[in-house]
Chains A and B, each alone.
Chain A
Amino acid sequence: MPYQLENRPPDLRESMYFPEIIRGIGTITKHFLKNLFFSRDANPDILARKRGGFGHSDNVTLQYPEERAPYAPAYRGLHRLVPREDGKPRCVACYMCATICPAQCIYIEAAEYPDDPVEKYPAKFVIDELRCIVCGFCVEACPKDAIRMDSGEHTPPSYERSAQIWDEKRLLRGPPVSYQYDPWLRRGSPSIPPDKLEEMRARAKPFPTVATDEASQTPGFSVRALAAEAKDRAQAARK
């Protein structure tokens, strides 16, 4: 733990070296014995781990591949293309994300569904994860909430660069998120059977209208709670 040290020349006792060294050995021995005789708290809930005190070593090491620290809810992980309830991508190939992307690493080719006169879909949707700077602009820009970075995982390492070019087949995964005003739910589609459509409509969430709406956020991350906390703090400061 860093703390301020007084800056002065050593006094006689300190320039004799040995007393201070013996003292240092004492400090080190305390750590040594504590860590030798007590084990690291291996509680899987990492934030609740105990350290120091009697019965626990001072060790806080995370044995990385086996134990992982949970990321903050706002963590920007690997992209995913959000599927609809019927498994097709929500993406309507509007090119918003590709346009805003500062690294220009999103490549989209639009196509039209043969059985649908209105809707487009990405025939190709490729993200070069090596060029991506993980800024999250694409997520912000998407009008359909079709691209998210809520997977909570890193881009996995690979031996070839080509394996870092993720196409729509690999990107399309994870749970679907449906909204009430999703055109597919409102209009229906020849590809969705009517009973399935009813079920999807019943499950759909209201479409987020404000940026702070929880449904628009990554799961578990509550902007409302943060705002309430900030408000409380401001009130406490005013008193």
Chain B
Amino acid sequence: MNRFFGMLLVIAATLAGLVLLSAGFYLAAGWLGWGFNALTGWISGSPGVSRAAVYYGASVANVVTLLLVVLMISSSLLTVAERKWSALIQNRIGANRIKVFGSALGGIPFLAADALKMLTKERIETTGRTRVLYELAPMLAFAPVFALFAIIPVGQGIELNQIPGLAGAAAAGAVEQIALQVSRTDTGLLYLFAIASLQVYGTALAGWASNNKLALLGGVRASSQMISYEVSLGLSLVGTMIAYRTLRLEEMVVAQGTPVLGPVPALGLLLQPIGFLIFFASAFAETKRAPFDLPEGESEIVGYFVEYSGMKFGLLFLAEFAEIVVLAGVITAVFLGGWHPILFEGWLRQNLTPFWFAAVGAGAFIAKMIVMMWLQLTIRWLLPRFRFDQIQKLCWKLLLPAALVNVFVTGGALLLDPSGQLLAWIGILTIVVIAVLTAAVGRAPAPAAGHGAAHAAAGH
């Protein structure tokens, strides 16, 4: 019972911490934006408010806070979470032998041990490698992930003068709003597809430049898998683009807050349940993690990274976890209502200052992201890996037709009813059908644990 209340406390503290962290991010963005403005004003000798300077300053702050803090810390924490969460799933304890003052701290000290191990490992490089590409591949695998996170709208935009301490800075509307988003581009989702397709270069080049047959096979598998899934990945989001009539992620998030059926907000999950499933599956395949981890396979071809050692391998390894974070961010923004806290949203909006409401929203975004990361790790521990032909079959015979049908159904529904209510009803119907199919009895259930007590005996 102690643990039960302790866990509730940890969860509550995490949520509160996320809100405070987001408040800090907003402060950093606002103050750095204002500082940049003052700096440019001082250099050019013309005091006043420069839109571009504020925007660049806020973006630089966001690069540091979102990319370096949120993305990097959560992806490295995921390496520990993978061990601990899989242990919880499998009734184990997980990594707990490094103790700090007698407490395992949830395995987090293992991060330091891992980093130390990766950094001090022997560097082995094959002589037959193609030097430049070999060195470039880990970076190429890692960089697109970073670039992808730049368009994730973690927090909504607020006026510069709503940030504490900057009340007299600039009148509302005089400068760009301060948002927790590195870059607000019109291309939005197209940028996402473009950068996501660059990811394949990292793995393919790593396999090719290693001058190793097995690594080459891994790279070829990776490229064939990722290129196939890009098709369904792109098509799955066309439905959301039609439904929200925009490519910009931040506008999609705003659109998801408007009610569509009575008080129910127009969440992407509600309007596009099929699109969500297809996008989740395809993006999961893009991350190259089990059950889609064909590019690596300890028992057949070791993997595209077989010739990498030390921190170079560490980068390739960490890139997968960073992809998980980015995928969680995209799903949250497109399908789960982004920074909308959903629960008590009206009350929060009325009773909090815009600054704190935005901070709560960004906290909600990161909390949703954590749930989506958890879901991805859960699926990784749920499913055995596919065979290669099954992977291609799933993509071309199941996901792609379903995505095409989804696009046409979405378009047709919006043509008949531009308010989106028909689409919402279709979405609800789909969710009900999926729920019924899921609840329908499959194979005979497992027999009740009759002799379970015997397994509790020592040594079992």
Contacts and interface: CB of A to CB of B under 8 A. Distances in A.
Interface of A: 1, 3, 5-6, 13-14, 16-25, 28-29, 31-32, 35-40, 46-47, 49-52, 55, 57-63, 69-70
A21 B379 contact: yes
Given A3-B447, A17-B398, A47-B457, A31 B452 contact: no
B92 A61 contact: yes
A61 B93 contact: yes
B375 interface: yes
B440 A19 contact: yes
Contact of A55 (B1, B394, B434, B455): B1
B92 A1 contact: no
B10 to A, nearest CB: 10
Contact of A16 (B4, B87, B437, B459): B437
7 interchain residue pairs of minimum CB distance: A69-B458, A39-B3, A19-B437, A35-B88, A58-B91, A19-B438, A46-B458
A28 B456 contact: no
B415 interface: no
Interface in B340-395: 375, 378-379, 381-383, 394
A5 B443 contact: yes
B43 interface: no
A28 B378 contact: yes
A37 B4 contact: yes
Given A28-B381, A31-B91, 15 more contacts: A3-B447, A6-B444, A13-B440, A16-B398, A17-B398, A18-B437, A21-B383, A28-B378, A32-B85, A37-B7, A40-B93, A46-B458, A57-B91, A60-B460, A70-B458
B132 interface: no
Contacts of A39: 2-3
23 contacts: A1-B449, A1-B452, A18-B277, A18-B434, A19-B437, A21-B383, A23-B438, A24-B382, A25-B375, A28-B378, A28-B381, A31-B90, A31-B91, A35-B89, A36-B88, A40-B93, A46-B458, A47-B457, A57-B91, A59-B92, A60-B455, A62-B458, A70-B458
B416 interface: no
B124 interface: no
Contacts of B375: 25
B422 to A, nearest CB: 24
Given A1-B449, A3-B446, A22-B438, A59 B93 contact: yes
Contacts of A25: 375, 378-379, 382
A35 B460 CA distance: 18
Contacts of B88: 31-32, 35-36
Of B375, B434, B442, B444, most A-chain CB atoms within 10 Å: B442
Nearest to A18: B277
Contacts of A28: 89, 378, 381-382
Contacts of B381: 28
Contacts of A22: 434, 438
B99 to A, nearest CB: 12
B446 A31 contact: no
Contacts of B460: 60
Contacts of A32: 85, 88-89, 378
B327 to A, nearest CB: 16
Interface string B71-110: 0000000000000010111111100000000000000000
Contacts of A57: 91
A16 B73 CA distance: 36
Interface string B220-240: 000000000000000000000
Contact of B442 (A14, A35, A61): A14
